[in-house]
């Protein structure tokens, strides 16, 4: 490979400004914009023309800039996201599209948003009054994993109207919470939305440091084997290569892991390779290309072994042991009553086995870490991570530093969904930075991302269910095999949740559940939105429909009859005392579904008039999901609030913002409690140097746990200010309050900067910190509460099956979610839409293929996440609010529950439409058609 770059100079106009730029051969327009012009609003999600995140306009037409050769931009006009907003006398004026995306809650993690807006901008240029079909046609390949497609659609329509009529952007109509306060429970755009629509929001890959090196990782690419030899001598000699590290060079810890430290940082010679993504060597060089070339120069000798690819096979006595303790990570048991006695009472007993495959998070932002060594010997790591303090612990252990010497500086995260809880590149970047003394960036390619990070557990679930003639459940027995892949990650916790939820949100007197979480040579499996419950809900909700069918009952009726309600006892023996909104979810969805069915039985197949090969029907499913870690794990979060001299209340916690909207929730809570205006509140997250430990962002816990901590910290601050001010201004404490952007004390109004100064002069810091401990829980198997709260949901999906081709379309979805209290209704809407989108992916579009331990679906072109064209015509959100006693204002988890019932609702609808039971996800249209034709 020739590597003497002959630079060329080109001229182009970007956002109205002419630039002469020197470019290297092989450069893309995306690279030119991001690296040479610093316009990092243009995002790179795939580099394969698949996701649309890099969309810019060239001469007025949208193009993907990631495959657009920079040379080709010579003499052209380029418009990027940075070129849309105007500056009027130092005042930022958003383009109506940007304004509409903000107001309509279309912005979640924000990573796709520049691409969405640019694609929409080009659409409106040609078509000022686009129909829904026009929008879908134009945005077909501009992917949003947060799935806020309906909001994106309505934002574009609102902007189009504003542009046509020259009027302000119309706002969406979103009802407030039934328990809304002054600001909590009322719709309000999230605080980071403006940065995200203008391209100013900084994600890790947008950062650059002087002298920064680029890292690459040599992956095993073999699912199972023993590393016999590794020769890096040639790579070390190469020009521009600053470090090549192998296991021999590890200064301290050799493994990492969130719970079990079983994951080698680098596999050493003589050691076992357990999956294709295992790291063998890491390289830092002055360009990404050179790093890549160095990888190619490393000689590897691997003795390949046959891979274990199936958990059942891995548990055979003669299977090779992948880990010292054997291949069984954990056997999880749930016992309630006497299951055989239960079956003996049953009038009907059914049994069936279901399969769910591996799923990939496919967050649009690939993993990126930048480690920056500090003069005092400490190490900063810039990364978007769901658990910054766990990163700190693991990075410190790997570097051999005390934890205080490592600072995780969280960045905007382009989606996580559970896939950014484990270590990805943090340790490797830090090791290279330590070895070279220079900043090191490690950005995963899309292929690497898809191959390396832990996925959703593929699970085989056998369900045996017994009921009385009237539909009342008497016994449920489940057996689950969860494929946890090469390393433990959060496998034990995930599969525990799958198991404890495997009898569904029903009161069943006799339950027996056994789950085996098993190591294999597949990519590791860990946390993924739904945390195991996605899998078991698919099985039990399919089974409930089969039972209804066997008993000749209505699918809604059988669920209503058995639904958990106040006073119910769960499978783990927990008595539900309050906050059980399942029945209300069921009833509201049912009413809406029947309304849309015009009095006909929604579960009866209906042929489309004039097109009898298109058959429609509804399907129904329910779910529950714990809020918080539970199971006896201490669940706490610390929040610090401080009034800053510039008159802003800063709320600090390491809890993570992955797009789900936590910063908005904390902003609203702090404003509500103090009386300040939300615009006076700033939320700082994910920085172990500046924010106290908010605990992991998982298990839908942050609104409840960190929300409470924020509420109490804000209350504490208000009290402290009241106490001080009442003395200082000589008025009763009740007469002291924040109002908007000032403090009112008696008849005086004090500007915030003044207040801060006065308090500081008096030797007081206007700052409080609160550690909130969630109500205590009990481990599985012990009496008492395993979880402090549950969220509940019901969904109905209407599908259309093409009986000639097997194709399935989702037409309408109704989604009711009991979230305790809607702290941020606009954010909740986005979460509900995104949950449905992800559920559609789970049911219909996503198929992660691993063949003999090798990942086949290693690019977005092969692993399809739902696009706007897969969205139903309507996602009807219904908010149900049965408060949890422990949550702030009664709020409980949102993030996961919204996605869980979608897949079984869809497969149940398919059954009602054409009588084919899907027991293996995703739905395969070919299998469906074959089933239809061989009947």
Nearer to ligand FAD, 405 or 862 (CB): 862
Contact positions with another protein (CB under 8 A) in 853-912: 856-857, 861-864, 870
The span from the CA of 384 to the CA of 382, in Å, is: 7
Backbone angles phi, psi at 626, to 5 degrees: -65, 150
Please choose which of another protein, ligand FES, ligand FAD, none residue 933 contacts, taking the beta carbon within 5 to 8 angstroms, the exact cut-off set by kind: another protein
Q: Which residues, in sequence order, are bridge partners of residue 743?
A: 738, 750
CA–CA distance, 381 with 410 (Å, rounded to integer): 8
Residues 825, 832: Cα–Cα separation, whole Å = 10
- DSSP string across 572-624: TS-B--S---HHHHHHHHHHHHHHHTTTS-TTS-EEETTEEEEEEEEEEEEEE
- Please identify, using beta-carbon distances, which residue of 143 and 322 lies nearer to ligand FAD: 143
What's CA 424's distance to the chain center, in Å? 16
Phi, psi (degrees; rounded to nearest 5) at 153: -60, -50
User: Could you say which residues in the range 146-165 bind ligand FES, by CB under 6 A?
Assistant: 146, 148
User: Which of 49/684 has CB closer to ligand FAD?
Assistant: 49
Tell me which DSSP letter residue 34 carries.
I
CB of 872 to another protein, least distance (A): 14
- Is there binding between residue 192 and ligand FAD (CB under 6 A)? no
Site string for ligand FES, 380-419 (x = CB under 6 A): -----------------------------------x----
Tell me which residues in 289-308 interact with another protein (CB under 8 A). 289, 292
Provide CB contacts within 8 A for 296, sequence distance 6+: none
Q: Which helix (H) or strand (E) holds 558?
A: helix 555-562
Give the number of other Cβ atoms within 10 Å of residue 9's Cβ. 9
134 is a contact residue toward another protein (CB under 8 A): no
Q: Which of the listed partners (ligand FAD, ligand FES, another protein, none) does 199 bind, with a CB threshold of 5 to 8 Å by partner kind?
A: none
Q: Nearest approach, Cβ of 362 to ligand FAD (angstroms)?
A: 15
Which lies closer to ligand FAD via its Cβ, residue 63 or residue 280? 63
Compute the CA torsion angle 877, 880, 885, 891 (nearest 10 deg). 20
User: Are the C-beta atoms of 928 and 805 separated by less than 8 Å?
Assistant: no
User: Which of 49, 238, 300, 319 is in the footprint of ligand FAD by CB under 6 A?
Assistant: 49
What is the per-residue DSSP string for 348-390? EEEEEEEEE--B----SS--EEEEEE-TTS-EEEEE--S-HHH
The partner residues of 930 in beta bridges, in order of sequence, read none
Binding mask 439-478 for ligand FES (x = CB under 6 A): ----------------------------------------
Using rule CB under 8 A, residue 107 touches another protein: no
Minimum distance of ligand FES from residue 872's CB (angstroms):
18
Retrieve residue 218's tokens.
Answer: 């040599």
Minimum CB–partner distance for residue 49 and ligand FAD (Å)? 4
Q: Is 659 near ligand FES (CB under 6 A)?
A: yes
What CA–CA distance (Å, rounded) separates 836 from 840? 6
Contacting another protein within 145-204 (CB under 8 A): none
Q: Among residues 42 and 831, whose Cβ is nearest to ligand FAD? A: 42
Q: Which of 27, 50, 278, 798 binds ligand FAD (CB under 6 A)?
A: 50
Considering the complex, what minimum distance in angstroms separates the CB of residue 277 from ligand FAD?
25
Q: Is 845 an interacting residue with respect to another protein (CB under 8 A)? A: yes
Whole-angstrom CA distances from 155 to 656, 662, 867, 872, 885 are: 26, 22, 17, 17, 36
- Contact between 53 and ligand FES by CB under 6 A: the answer reads yes
**Cis amide bond preceding 262, omega within 30:** no
Binding partner of 31, given another protein, ligand FES, ligand FAD, none, CB within 5-8 angstroms per partner class: another protein
Q: Among residues 591 and 856, whose Cβ is nearest to another protein?
A: 856
Give the residues across from 519 on adjacent strands.
485
Among the listed residues 460, 224, 222, the one whose alpha carbon sits nearest the alpha carbon of residue 322: 224
Nearest distance, CB of residue 870 and another protein, angstroms: 7
Choose the binding region for ligand FES from 12-20, 43-51, 448-456, 628-636 (rule: CB under 6 A): 43-51
The CB-of-32 to ligand FES minimum distance in angstroms stands at 14
Candidate ranges 52-60, 159-167, 298-306, 416-424; the one touching ligand FES (CB under 6 A): 52-60
Element (H, E) at 433: helix 426-436
Closer to ligand FES by CB, 104 or 145: give it.
145
Q: Give the whole-angstrom CA distance, residue 636 versus residue 656.
A: 14
- Distances from the Cα of 299 to the Cαs of 168, 226, 229, 296, 335, in angstroms? 62, 15, 8, 8, 53
- How far is the C-alpha of 412 from the C-alpha of 401, rounded, in Å? 26
Q: Does 72 bind another protein (CB under 8 A)?
A: yes
Residue 770 contact among ligand FAD, ligand FES, another protein, none, beta carbon within 5 to 8 Å by kind:
none
Residues 58-87, interacting with ligand FES (CB under 6 A)? 64, 66
| Nearest distance in Å: CB 141, ligand FAD | 6
Residue 750 is encoded by which pair of tokens? Answer: 């004090």
What x-and-dash track marks residues 807-836 binding another protein by CB under 8 A?
Answer: x-----------------------------
What is the smallest separation between the CB atom of 58 and ligand FAD, expressed in angstroms?
15
Q: Which does 144 bind (CB under 5 to 8 A by kind): ligand FAD, another protein, ligand FES, none?
A: ligand FES
Q: What is the DSSP string of 793-857?
A: EEEEEEEEEETTT--EEEEEEEEEEE-SS-SSHHHHHHHHHHHHHHHHIIIII----EETTEES-
Per CB under 8 A, 261 contacts another protein:
no
Instruction: Mark residues 129-158: x for contact with ligand FAD by CB under 6 A, - for none.
Output: ------------x-----------------
Cβ-based nearer residue to another protein, 63 or 537:
63
Q: State how far the Cα of 192 lies from the Cα of 194, in Å rounded to an integer.
A: 6
Token code pair at residue 117 = 């807006």
Minimum gap (Å) between residue 366 Cβ and ligand FES: 10
Among 10, 29, 37, 46, binds ligand FES (CB under 6 A): 46
- SS3 of residue 258 by DSSP: coil
Residue 369: name the closest of 417, 305, 433 by CA. 433
For residues 63 and 230, which CB has a smaller minimum distance to ligand FES in the complex? 63
Dihedral angle sign, alpha carbons of residues 394, 413, 688, 205 = positive
Contact stretch for another protein (CB under 8 A) within 116-124, 296-304, 407-415, 734-742: 116-124
Q: How far apart are CA 842 and CA 175, in angstroms?
A: 29
Q: Show the DSSP H helices in 166-241 as ranges.
A: 193-198, 233-237
The residue (of 639 and 928) whose beta carbon lies closer to another protein is 928
In the chain, the N- to C-terminal Cα span, in Å, equals 58
Tell which one of 14, 34, 45, 559 touches ligand FES (CB under 6 A). 45
User: Which pair of structure tokens corresponds to residue 158?
Assistant: 């609102």
Q: Does 68 bind another protein (CB under 8 A)?
A: yes
Furthest-apart CA atoms within the chain: distance in Å = 87
Chain contacts with another protein (rule: CB under 8 A): 1-2, 5-6, 24-28, 31, 35, 47-49, 52, 55, 61-64, 67-69, 71-72, 74, 119, 122-123, 137-142, 288-289, 292, 804-807, 844-847, 849, 856-857, 861-864, 870, 922, 924-926, 929-930, 933
Chain contacts with ligand FAD (rule: CB under 6 A): 49-50, 141
Chain contacts with ligand FES (rule: CB under 6 A): 44-47, 49-54, 64, 66, 108-113, 144-146, 148, 364, 415, 659
């Amino acid at each position: 490979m020739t590597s003497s770059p002959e630079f060329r100079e080109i001229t182009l106009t970007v956002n109205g400004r002419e630039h002469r730029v020197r470019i290297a051969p092989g450069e893309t327009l995306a690279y030119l914009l991001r690296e040479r012009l610093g316009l990092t609003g243009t995002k790179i999600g795939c580099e394969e023309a698949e996701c649309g995140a890099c969309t810019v306009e060239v001469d007025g037409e949208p193009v993907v800039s990631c495959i657009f050769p920079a040379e080709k931009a010579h003499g052209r006009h380029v418009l990027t996201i940075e070129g849309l907003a105007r500056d009027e006398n130092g005042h930022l004026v958003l383009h109506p599209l940007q304004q509409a995306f903000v107001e309509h809650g279309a912005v979640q993690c924000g990573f796709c948003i520049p691409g969405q807006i640019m694609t929409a901008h080009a659409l409106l240029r040609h078509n000022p009054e686009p129909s829904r079909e026009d929008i879908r046609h134009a945005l077909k390949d501009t992917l949003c994993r947060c799935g806020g497609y309906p909001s994106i659609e309505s934002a574009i329509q609102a902007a189009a109207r504003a542009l046509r009529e020259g009027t302000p952007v119309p706002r969406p109509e979103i009802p407030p919470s039934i328990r809304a306060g002054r600001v909590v429970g009322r719709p309000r755009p999230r605080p980071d939305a403006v940065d995200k629509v203008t391209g100013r929001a900084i994600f890790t890959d947008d950062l650059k440091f002087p002298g920064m090196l680029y890292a690459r990782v040599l992956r095993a690419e073999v699912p199972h084997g023993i590393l016999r030899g590794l020769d890096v001598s040639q790579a070390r000699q190469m020009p521009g290569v600053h470090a090549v590290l192998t296991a021999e060079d590890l200064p301290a810890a050799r493994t990492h892991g969130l719970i079990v430290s079983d994951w080698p940082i680098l596999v050493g010679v003589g050691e076992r390779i357990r999956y294709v993504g295992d790291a063998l060597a890491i390289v830092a060089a002055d360009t990404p290309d050179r790093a890549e070339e160095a990888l190619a120069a490393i000689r590897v000798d691997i003795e390949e072994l046959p891979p274990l690819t199936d958990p059942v096979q891995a548990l055979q006595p003669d299977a090779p042991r992948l880990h010292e303790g054997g291949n069984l990570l954990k056997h999880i048991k749930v016992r309630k009553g006497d299951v055989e006695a239960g079956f003996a009472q049953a009038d009907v007993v059914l049994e069936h086995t279901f399969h769910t495959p591996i799923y990939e998070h496919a967050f649009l932002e690939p993993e990126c870490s930048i480690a920056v060594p500090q003069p005092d010997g400490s190490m900063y790591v810039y990364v978007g991570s769901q658990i910054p303090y766990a990163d700190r612990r693991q990075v410190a252990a790997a570097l051999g530093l005390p934890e205080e010497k490592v600072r995780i500086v969280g960045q905007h995260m382009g989606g996580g969904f559970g896939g950014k809880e484990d270590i990805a590149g943090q340790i490797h970047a830090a090791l290279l930075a330590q070895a070279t003394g220079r900043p090191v960036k490690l950005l995963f390619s899309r292929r690497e991302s898809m191959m390396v990070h832990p996925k959703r557990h593929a699970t085989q679930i056998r369900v045996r269910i017994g009921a009385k003639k009237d539909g009342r459940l008497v016994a449920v027995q489940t057996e689950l095999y969860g494929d946890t892949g090469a390393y433990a990650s959060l496998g034990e916790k995930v599969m525990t949740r799958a198991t404890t939820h495997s009898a569904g949100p029903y009161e069943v007197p006799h339950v027996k559940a056994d789950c085996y979480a098993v190591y294999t040579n597949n990519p590791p499996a860990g946390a993924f939105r739904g945390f195991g419950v996605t899998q078991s809900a698919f099985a039990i909700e399919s089974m409930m429909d089969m039972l209804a069918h066997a008993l000749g009952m209505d699918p809604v009726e059988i669920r209503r009859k058995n639904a958990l309600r106040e006073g119910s006892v769960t499978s783990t023996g927990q008595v539900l005392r309050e906050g059980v909104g399942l029945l209300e979810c069921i009833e509201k969805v049912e009413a809406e579904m029947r309304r849309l069915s015009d009095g006909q039985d929604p579960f009866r197949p209906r042929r489309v008039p004039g097109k009898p090969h298109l058959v429609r029907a509804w399907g129904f499913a329910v779910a529950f999901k714990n809020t918080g870690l539970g199971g006896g794990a201490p669940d706490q979060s610390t929040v610090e609030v401080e009034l800053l001299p510039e008159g802003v209340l800063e709320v600090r916690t390491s809890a993570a913002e992955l797009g789900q909207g936590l910063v908005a929730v904390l902003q609203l809570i702090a404003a509500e409690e103090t009386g300040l205006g939300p615009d006076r509140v700033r939320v700082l997250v994910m920085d172990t140097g500046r924010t106290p430990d908010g605990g992991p962002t998982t298990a839908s816990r942050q609104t409840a746990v960190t929300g409470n901590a924020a509420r109490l910290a804000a209350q504490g601050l208000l009290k402290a200010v009241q106490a001080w001010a009442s003395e200082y201004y000589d008025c009763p404490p009740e007469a002291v309050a924040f109002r908007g952007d000032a403090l009112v004390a008696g008849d005086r109004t004090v500007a915030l900067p003044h207040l801060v100064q006065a308090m500081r002069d008096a030797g007081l810091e206007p700052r409080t910190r609160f550690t909130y401990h969630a109500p205590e829980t009990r481990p599985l198997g012990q009496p008492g509460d395993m979880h402090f709260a549950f969220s509940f949901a019901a969904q109905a999906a209407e599908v259309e099956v093409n009986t000639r081709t097997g194709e399935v379309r989702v037409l309408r979805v109704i989604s009711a979610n009991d979230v305790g209290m809607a702290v941020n209704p606009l954010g909740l809407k986005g979460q509900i839409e995104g949950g449905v989108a992800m559920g559609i992916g789970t049911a219909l579009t996503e198929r992660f293929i691993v063949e003999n331990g090798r990942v086949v679906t290693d690019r977005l072109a092969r692993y399809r996440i739902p696009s706007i064209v897969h969205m139903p015509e309507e996602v009807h959100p219904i908010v149900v609010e049965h408060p949890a006693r422990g949550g702030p204002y009664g709020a409980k988890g949102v993030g996961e529950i919204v996605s869980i019932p979608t897949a079984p609702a869809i497969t149940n609808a398919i059954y009602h439409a054409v009588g084919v039971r899907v027991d293996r996800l995703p739905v395969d249209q070919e299998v469906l058609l074959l089933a239809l034709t061989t009947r």
